[in-house]
Amino acid sequence: MTLAILALAAALAAVPDAEIGEETSFGDWAVGCDNGLACEALSLDPEDEIGYSSASLTVQRGAGPDGYYRAGLRMFEDNPGNSIALHIDGELAATATASPGSELHHFDPAIVPHLVWRIANGSSAEIFDAEGGSLGPISLSGSYAALLYIEDRQQRAGTVTASVVIGDEPESRVPPAPALPMIAAMPTPGSEEGPAQALSLAEANAIRDEAQCYEDEDNPRRNEAFRIAHDTELILISCGGGAYNFSDFAFVRQGGGLRPATFDAPTGWGEGTVPPVLVNAWWDAESGVLGSYMKGRGIGDCGTAQSFVWDGSAFRLTEQRVMNNCRGSLHWITVYRANIRWVEP
């Protein structure tokens, strides 16, 4: 079967696209909101100054009048201790403490609204360990615009719930959080179904040859199959790779018929290729999740990560995290979420 015929089969099996939020930046701050209008803003290293800071200052806010409101410090290096002091414009602004089970040192929620105002309106910031030793600067360039972006997206600017553009409008003016999609997903079958069968070497090579895949002899060719439902197999065929990104074509086989896998969101490099391309793909049989992790560069401070589940006919996006700026942050901003309901076939 040629790739052209497979492309037609994929078009006939198309599903509506997931509505994905965006990640953007202002100065040295990145910000983004997901489809439920949960938003996050965080500090980055200045352009061409990677390693400028040992931490990222982070603000997270849920949608709706009573959405959660958090601020913290995400350390890039070894834990400096239980507490970290944040100074803004040369004065102590707040102290963050380590939280068990969290990657963040959190600030007291009671002071977050005022602290965010100081972050937005400050000129400079520096953090210190418990002994008063400097842990380095944090850039506030762009913080005002990034934090205002959140208030604008959540329609809370000018209300009593705002920290940047504070007003006297009641919290009831803030709309509730949008409902997240609910995906009816197929659970992964047990071992009694038998192992999945990879394509023959001739079939796999024919797909690679027609697509003119670049194959590095130092990277092993992938031809793997995974059983994702009692009558369905996922097949991944490698098509090129580099130092830290490895691309695979994704197919499904149902009832003996092979077709390109269908996704409700752009995958790989976002080019809408058929067959679809996944980058650094992995399948977790226990959780029933197909994931990809495309890095913008080797240290992993930018890129796109996606998670999908199988609904019986297509892979449906359950989470997407993005960082478009390669400027020191190993934490990527969530721009899409969905809830999952597992159903029996």
In tens, the pLDDT along 166-178 reads 999 999 999 999 9
Report the SS3 class of residue 74: strand
In the listed set 173, 208, 226, which residue is the last one of a domain according to the structure? 173
pLDDT tens track, the chain, 345 positions: 555 544 544 444 456 678 999 999 999 999 999 999 999 999 999 987 877 788 999 999 999 999 999 999 998 877 668 999 999 999 999 999 998 878 899 999 999 999 999 999 999 999 999 999 999 999 999 999 999 999 999 999 999 999 999 999 999 999 999 999 999 999 998 766 778 999 999 999 999 999 888 766 666 678 999 999 988 999 999 998 888 999 999 999 998 899 999 999 999 877 677 899 999 999 999 999 999 999 999 999 999 999 999 999 999 999 999 999 999 999 999 999 999 999 987
H helices then E strands: how many in the chain?
4, 22
Which residues, in sequence order, are CB contacts of 80 under 8 Å at separation 6+?
Answer: 54, 129, 130, 135
Looking at the fold, whether 137 and 207 belong to one and the same domain comes out as: no
Position 237 in a domain: yes
What are the tens digits of pLDDT across the range 214-249? 766 666 678 999 999 988 999 999 998 888 999 999
Looking at the fold, whether 112 and 212 belong to one and the same domain comes out as: no
Helix (H) / strand (E) containing 169: none
Show the domain range for 266.
181-342
Looking at the fold, whether 159 and 191 belong to one and the same domain comes out as: no
Domains of the chain: total: 2
Distance separating alpha carbons of residues 80 and 165, to the nearest angstrom: 34
Could you give the angle at the alpha carbon of 245 between the alpha carbons of 239 and 249, nearest 5°?
30
Position 6 in a domain: no
Position 265 in a domain: yes
Position 8 in a domain: no
- Residue 49, domain CATH: 2.60.40.1880
Position 77 in a domain: yes
pLDDT at 12: 43
Residue of 330, 339, 280 whose CA lies nearest to 306:
280
Contact present, 264 and 313 (Cβ < 8 Å): no
Looking at the fold, whether 235 and 163 belong to one and the same domain comes out as: no
Position 41 in a domain: yes
Looking at the fold, whether 161 and 303 belong to one and the same domain comes out as: no
Looking at the fold, whether 32 and 163 belong to one and the same domain comes out as: yes
Residue of 204, 46, 180 whose CA lies nearest to 125:
46
Looking at the fold, whether 155 and 236 belong to one and the same domain comes out as: no
pLDDT at 16: 65
Position 17 in a domain: no
Position 67 in a domain: yes
Share of the chain above pLDDT 70, in %: 92
Looking at the fold, whether 164 and 196 belong to one and the same domain comes out as: no
In the listed set 149, 173, 197, which residue is the last one of a domain according to the structure? 173
Looking at the fold, whether 204 and 118 belong to one and the same domain comes out as: no
pLDDT at 9: 47
Contact present, 332 and 31 (Cβ < 8 Å): no
Looking at the fold, whether 204 and 320 belong to one and the same domain comes out as: yes
pTM comes to: 0.91
pLDDT at 11: 46
> For residues 98, 293, 25 and 35, what is the CA-based torsion angle, rounded to 10 degrees?
-90
Looking at the fold, whether 40 and 158 belong to one and the same domain comes out as: yes
In the listed set 148, 173, 198, which residue is the last one of a domain according to the structure? 173
Looking at the fold, whether 31 and 119 belong to one and the same domain comes out as: yes
